[in-house]
Amino acid sequence: MAPPAQSQRSPSPSQPSGKSEVSDLKLQLRQLAGSRAPGVDDSKRELFKKVISHMTIGIDVSSLFGEMVMCSATSDIVLKKMCYLYVGNYAKVNPDLALLTINFLQRDCRDEDPMIRGLALRSLCSLRVANLVEYLVGPLGSGLKDNNSYVRTVAVIGVLKLYHISASTCIDADFPSILKHLMLNDSDTQVVANCLSALQEIWSAEASTSEEALREREALLSKPIIYYLLNRIKEFSEWAQCLVLELVAKYLPSDTNEIFDIMNLLEDRLQHANGAVVLATIKVFMQLTLSMTDVHQQVYERIKAPLLTLVSSGSPEQSYAVLSHLHILVMRAPYIFSSDYKHFYCQYNEPSYVKRLKLEMLTAVANESNTYEIVTELCEYAANVDIPIARESIRAVGKIALQQYDVNAIVDRLLQFLEMEKDYVTAEALVLVKDLLRKYPQWSQDCIAVVGNISSKNVQEPKAKAALIWMLGEYSQDMQDAPYILESLVENWDEEHSGEVRLHLLTAVMKCFFKRPPETQNALGAALAAGIADFHQDVHDRALFYYRILQYNVSVAERVVNPPKQAVSVFADTQSSEIKDRIFDEFNTLSVVYQKPSYMFTDKEHRGPFEFSDELGNLSIGVEAADNVVSAQRVEANDKDLLLTTSEKEETRSSSHNGSAYTAPYDGPATSVYASQTQLIETAISNPASAGQAQQASLAIDDLLGLGLPAAPSPPPPSPQLKLNSKAVLEPSTFQQKWRQLPVALSQEHSISPQGIAAFTAPQALLRHMQSHSIHCIASGGQSPNFKFFFFAQKAEESLNYLVECIINTSSGKAQIKIKADDQSTSQAFSTLFQSALSKFGSQ
């Protein structure tokens, strides 16, 4: 514990300032140690207080250990407590001296006052010294049997402490099974709750090595235990209720009656004043009803009011925690909240982290009926004194414009922003107008008129400047001054610090040149010269490329640089639906607040108090368990697309967009520009029949420029036939880890032949069939008509894995396939193999 800077601290009775005092304290403690004079306890109290306050501010007072222990022989409970606190803090660094304390702690463990027994036991277990564990077992054993519930609650947590010091001692003493017995029989609910916490921790840690612990951990989710806890739920403290509810959220009821019973039992928990209880209850409701679309929706309706009440009562911090959860629900089902938009209006005194969430929610719930009001409100924020929030409000208006069909009024608002003449407002609005034009080119007339009036000198931010330049190039035929504005920008080339802006400038001048050659020729020459001399690699490369392609053929150059436009239908989402689903699975955890799944910010062992419902943990492992009813339902429970199918659709949509992005008119960041150019060149110059292979294209660009361009990765040698290892093995945990880490390489839909559907009497048939093609199943589940499989395969002679998620709907005859691969370049080949194997199913 490093002492914090002492100099700024004012001296105060509880905060001594010098380290020299430590030796002073040592002397005084010594004098008092043997004394039996009246009033000595009071003097000791004062001294102990000083020691503890030193400890608090980080001064090392461990050298007083011996003296503190000597002074601890007292019947004054306040003194005892201070002494225990001290000992607990320093025993670990003083293991030898810690032995001194064992004696009096053990004696206190047998005191007739239960308070002293409990305190002593807690301190004994808090010493955290490995070679003292032998002294813990006895007192813990009797503590668990103590007739006072306070001592028992302390003893249960003591077992957990012991486990962390020495797991084997704890297991050998058979403490876990004693805890299990206590959990099911103790009359005190805090004892029960502590048993549950301790067992969850112990069994989760043991589960990786012990089959039995794994079973025990699973057994916590069994019907008898869940019902036992649920029936007593109201006896538990509000904190213990959260613990129980967290467990219930993982329980899988066998039928709908059970689901309704549980929900009706917990219904009044939604009215609890403690937000943590309400959120834990909501998680239970969400998880229970995932497969029941109607009821799930009913749940959303039901939880709305309690959540809104929690958001507006309590401290700003508490309301933020609830608001984050409301946020994720709104994002999942915006239509359910569309009439509540006024609750998401920002209040002027709210912290910016709250405002930011609210802006996102307002954007999400905007629909035909409320857009006008929401946009009006957002426009008010644009003049906000809080500039970052003002910026985000403008962006929110833009996003709403992009998701609505009737953008008429919104375009007007955006144009008004441009007229406000505040630098940051103009900057944000320019970026938006650009995006808007990419989606709705039909608005160009109105926008261009306004954009044309903006002096490029007033626009400084790179993103905004780039947007303005893009519009100048794109609509140069409609903007009279375009060539001259561009020319003046080219003249100031050296003053332009942003590479992105210079890249855009090059392209814009090119586009302008094709439309108005005589006016632009000078500017183009100057721009190319400046660009080729540019120290920025991308700018240099692009200038050179333009120069050479112009030399080669001007009309080809035009087709490359300024091809016919196609409006962008959907902009790629920043967060994949897979990540969103994972965050939703981790409802009522930090994942929701951070908007990141737990693997992105936490080590495996800290994911959650009771984390074992990983994606695959929910599925049965191995082929033989596929017909297990429970596992089948788990898959169903895991299947998010039953209520809000949007996620899956979104993904396919956005991935198809990525494909078509190459023809989108906007030259995005430098990296994707290459992709677009490569493909365009291919179509323009060689125009081969199959334009899907980027490898070939990048070779083409190499030839064209005669330069060893670093941007294109060296293409792997074409692999005509992919051979799979028929005896591949993969640990489920490895699979899980890889599935989480790897990006989706391919996502496809595939039809299954009628014979295949006919053969699909049971999932096992498919598993056997795929295995004959060296594709192995690692987990499967589902109920007719939806089945979900996880397959893996390994490349022969190389340990490169292919992972597949395959969702088969037998009524539609469609299979949705997601492939992830260690080696992305061969995923296409593997996909072909997989599909051919799948298509042969039922035909043999």
Please tell me the distance from the alpha carbon of residue 384 to that of residue 371, in angstroms, as a whole number: 20
Structure tokens at 348: 């002027």
DSSP 643-704: T-THHHHHHHHHHHHHHHGGGSS---SHHHHHHHHHHHHIIIII--S----HHHHHHHHHHH
Fill in the DSSP letter of residue 571.
Answer: P
Please tell me the distance from the alpha carbon of residue 13 to that of residue 595, in angstroms, as a whole number: 44
- Of positions 132, 310, 402, 467, contacts another protein by CB under 8 A: 310
When asked if residue 460 is in the footprint of another protein (CB under 8 A), the reply is no
| Torsion sign, CA atoms 687, 688, 694, 697 | negative
HSE-CB for 596 with a 13 A CA cutoff: 7
Please tell me the distance from the alpha carbon of residue 362 to that of residue 365, in angstroms, as a whole number: 5
HSE-CB for 397 with a 13 A CA cutoff: 32
Longest dimension (CA), the chain: 107
Residues in CB range of 684: below 8 A, 6 or more apart? 556, 559, 560
**Which is nearer to another protein, 85 or 623 (by Cβ)?**
85
Please tell me the distance from the alpha carbon of residue 192 to that of residue 180, in angstroms, as a whole number: 9
Q: How far is the CB of 420 from another protein (least distance, A)?
A: 6
When asked if residue 528 is in the footprint of another protein (CB under 8 A), the reply is no
* Cis ω before 441 (30° cut-off from 0): no
- Of positions 149, 169, 309, 771, contacts another protein by CB under 8 A: 309
- Of positions 49, 463, 516, 565, contacts another protein by CB under 8 A: 49
When asked if residue 58 is in the footprint of another protein (CB under 8 A), the reply is yes
When asked if residue 267 is in the footprint of another protein (CB under 8 A), the reply is yes
When asked if residue 242 is in the footprint of another protein (CB under 8 A), the reply is yes
When asked if residue 165 is in the footprint of another protein (CB under 8 A), the reply is no
Tally Cβ neighbours within 10 Å of residue 253: 18
333-361 burial, b at 16+ Cβ within 10 Å, e below that, comes to bbebbbebbebbbbeeebeeebbbbbbbb
Spatial contact of 325 and 316, defined as CB atoms under 8 Å apart: no
Residues that contact another protein, how many (by CB under 8 A): 120
**Which is nearer to another protein, 473 or 597 (by Cβ)?**
597
**Which is nearer to another protein, 150 or 662 (by Cβ)?**
150
Site residues for another protein, 402-431, by CB under 8 A, read 419-421
Q: How far is the CB of 742 from another protein (least distance, A)?
A: 22
- Of positions 73, 77, 93, 567, contacts another protein by CB under 8 A: 77
**Which is nearer to another protein, 302 or 840 (by Cβ)?**
302
Site residues for another protein, 351-380, by CB under 8 A, read 351-353, 356, 377, 380
Taking CB under 8 A as the binding criterion, the range among 259-267, 636-644, 678-686, 699-707 that sits at the site for another protein is: 259-267
H or E element: which one contains 574? none
- Sheet with 746-751, edge to edge strand ranges: 620-621, 776-783, 786-794, 801-809, 814-821, 746-751
When asked if residue 636 is in the footprint of another protein (CB under 8 A), the reply is no
When asked if residue 82 is in the footprint of another protein (CB under 8 A), the reply is yes
Site residues for another protein, 188-207, by CB under 8 A, read 190, 194, 197
Taking CB under 8 A as the binding criterion, the range among 131-139, 519-527, 593-601, 639-647 that sits at the site for another protein is: 593-601
Q: How far is the CB of 314 from another protein (least distance, A)?
A: 7
When asked if residue 271 is in the footprint of another protein (CB under 8 A), the reply is yes
Question: Count of residues for the chain?
Answer: 844
When asked if residue 603 is in the footprint of another protein (CB under 8 A), the reply is yes
**Which is nearer to another protein, 256 or 566 (by Cβ)?**
256
The residue with tokens 């957002």 is 378
Q: How far is the CB of 82 from another protein (least distance, A)?
A: 6
Taking CB under 8 A as the binding criterion, the range among 276-284, 432-440, 441-449, 824-832 that sits at the site for another protein is: 276-284
**Which is nearer to another protein, 357 or 644 (by Cβ)?**
357
Taking CB under 8 A as the binding criterion, the range among 180-188, 584-592, 621-629, 719-727 that sits at the site for another protein is: 584-592
Spatial contact of 767 and 605, defined as CB atoms under 8 Å apart: no
670-686 burial, b at 16+ Cβ within 10 Å, e below that, comes to beebbbbbbbbbbbbbe
- Of positions 21, 137, 150, 800, contacts another protein by CB under 8 A: 150
Please tell me the distance from the alpha carbon of residue 305 to that of residue 119, in angstroms, as a whole number: 44
Q: How far is the CB of 424 from another protein (least distance, A)?
A: 12
Taking CB under 8 A as the binding criterion, the range among 506-514, 583-591, 678-686, 741-749 that sits at the site for another protein is: 583-591
The residue with tokens 């607990």 is 88
Taking CB under 8 A as the binding criterion, the range among 84-92, 138-146, 451-459, 629-637 that sits at the site for another protein is: 84-92
When asked if residue 264 is in the footprint of another protein (CB under 8 A), the reply is yes
- Of positions 38, 209, 224, 385, contacts another protein by CB under 8 A: 385
Q: Residue 366's closest CA among 310, 315, 325, 407?
A: 407
When asked if residue 278 is in the footprint of another protein (CB under 8 A), the reply is yes
Taking CB under 8 A as the binding criterion, the range among 271-279, 563-571, 616-624, 720-728 that sits at the site for another protein is: 271-279
- Of positions 97, 556, 593, 742, contacts another protein by CB under 8 A: 593
When asked if residue 102 is in the footprint of another protein (CB under 8 A), the reply is no
Q: How far is the CB of 639 from another protein (least distance, A)?
A: 18
Q: Residue 633's closest CA among 411, 473, 786, 506?
A: 786
When asked if residue 131 is in the footprint of another protein (CB under 8 A), the reply is no
When asked if residue 465 is in the footprint of another protein (CB under 8 A), the reply is no
**Which is nearer to another protein, 30 or 596 (by Cβ)?**
596
H or E element: which one contains 120? helix 114-125
- Of positions 290, 321, 411, 684, contacts another protein by CB under 8 A: 321
Residue 808: strand, helix, or coil: strand
**Which is nearer to another protein, 175 or 841 (by Cβ)?**
175
Please tell me the distance from the alpha carbon of residue 333 to that of residue 641, in angstroms, as a whole number: 12
Please tell me the distance from the alpha carbon of residue 335 to that of residue 339, in angstroms, as a whole number: 8
Site residues for another protein, 108-127, by CB under 8 A, read 115, 122, 126
Q: How far is the CB of 225 from another protein (least distance, A)?
A: 19
